[in-house]
């Protein structure tokens, strides 16, 4: 069967109308992409930036509210220093080059993770872009950098414990809402769609709390090969899923969460 072309697929996805509010992506496979070509891993990271541009545009075109990109995990600090430096430099370059363009397209930049661990140049580039785009409202580009979900949950619990110790919060007042509200993602809807490239079937410490009812889409495509077409394919697959949230009914309205009363 002939593959549907990108613009036709996009048209159908938009016509369906069920656009995920929040798409989260584990951008994986850069190293393998480079190795397959006999090139150093960093070459794969460089090429991966083209995919970042493509998915940011694609999500903006579809009208997604939030796009979270897993750019660098807490565990990635254990990689060789040269690779870490290259990744940080690429991140900094991307942000510095794109911030004007992001702003012109109504995109606000946000960041989750232990940013304080970054060296000055990439950290300043990110905080500067966050400030520069702060008033944009079309879409949030949320970068997970030095991010680990368990670390995030630990930070949240520590914050709540501090509130309890200070007498401002009773233990019985801690519930799912207060815990979610203490996470880095406090103001964001949970992801509707999680995409992982390069075929790995794991979460690698990404948004563990937030993906409780997220639809997961795994593709063998390596991140540097991922383009708009692939993003539209993922959303089209999402639109065919039936989200039940633990219930039995087949409502067919796959965006409805338990708290969204009819």
**Sites of contact with ligand IPE (CB under 6 A):** 26-32, 70-73, 76, 87, 198, 200, 202, 204, 223
Distance CA(93)–CA(13), nearest Å, equals 32
Which residues, in sequence order, are bridge partners of residue 182? none
The verdict on whether 76 is a catalytic residue reads yes
Nearer to ligand IPE, 223 or 239 (CB): 223
Please name the residues in contact with 101: beta carbons below 8 A apart, sequence gap of 6 or more.
none
The interaxial angle of helices 120-132 and 81-104, nearest 10 deg, is: 20
**Shortest distance (Å) from residue 204 CB to Mg ion:** 8
Specify burial of residue 197 (Cβ count, 10 A radius: 0-12, 13-18, 19+).
Answer: buried
**Shortest distance (Å) from residue 71 CB to ligand IPE:** 6
Distance CA(75)–CA(209), nearest Å, equals 18
The verdict on whether 28 is a catalytic residue reads yes
Nearer to Mg ion, 28 or 98 (CB): 28
Binding track, positions 135-154, relative to Mg ion; x by CB under 5 A: --------------------
Assigned token pair, 131: 């400030």
When binding is defined by CB under 5 A, the residue of 13, 28, 160, 190 that contacts Mg ion is 28
**Shortest distance (Å) from residue 196 CB to ligand IPE:** 8
Query: Which residue among the candidates 18, 76, 124, 205 is catalytic per the annotation?
Result: 76
Distance CA(198)–CA(119), nearest Å, equals 29
Sign of CA dihedral 157, 187, 253, 234: negative
Nearer to Mg ion, 11 or 77 (CB): 77
- Contact (Cβ atoms closer than 8 angstroms) between residue 91 and residue 71: yes
Q: Indicate which of Mg ion, ligand IPE, none lies near residue 249 (CB less than 5 to 8 Å, by partner kind).
A: none
In the complex, which residue's CB is closest to ligand IPE? 31
Nearer to ligand IPE, 127 or 204 (CB): 204
**Site residues, Mg ion (CB under 5 A):** 28
Q: Which residues are catalytic?
A: 28, 76
């Amino acid at each position: 069967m002939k593959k549907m072309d990108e613009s036709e697929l996009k048209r159908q996805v938009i016509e369906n109308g069920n656009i995920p509010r929040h798409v989260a992506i584990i951008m994986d496979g850069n190293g393998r992409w480079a190795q397959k070509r006999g090139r150093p891993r960093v070459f794969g990271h460089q090429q991966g930036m083209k995919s970042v541009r493509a998915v940011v545009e694609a999500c903006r075109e579809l009208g997604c509210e939030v796009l979270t990109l897993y750019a660098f995990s807490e565990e990635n600090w254990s990689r060789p220093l040269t690779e870490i430096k290259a990744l940080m430099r690429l991140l900094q370059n991307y942000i510095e080059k794109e911030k004007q363009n992001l702003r012109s397209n109504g995109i606000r930049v946000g960041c989750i993770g232990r940013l304080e661990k970054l060296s000055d140049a990439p950290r300043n580039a990110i905080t500067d872009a966050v400030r520069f785009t702060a008033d944009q409202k079309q879409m949030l580009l949320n970068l997970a950098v030095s991010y680990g979900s368990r670390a995030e949950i630990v930070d949240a619990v520590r914050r709540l414990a501090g509130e309890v110790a200070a007498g401002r919060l009773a233990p019985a007042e801690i519930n799912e809402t207060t815990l979610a509200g203490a996470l880095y993602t406090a103001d964001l809807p949970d992801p509707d769609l999680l995409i992982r490239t390069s075929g790995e079937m794991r979460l690698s410490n990404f948004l563990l709390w937030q993906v409780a009812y997220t639809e997961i889409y795994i593709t063998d495509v390596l991140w540097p090969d991922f383009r708009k077409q692939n993003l539209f394919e993922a959303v089209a697959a999402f639109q065919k899923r039936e989200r039940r949230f633990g219930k039995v009914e087949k409502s067919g309205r796959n965006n409805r969460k338990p708290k969204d009363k009819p």
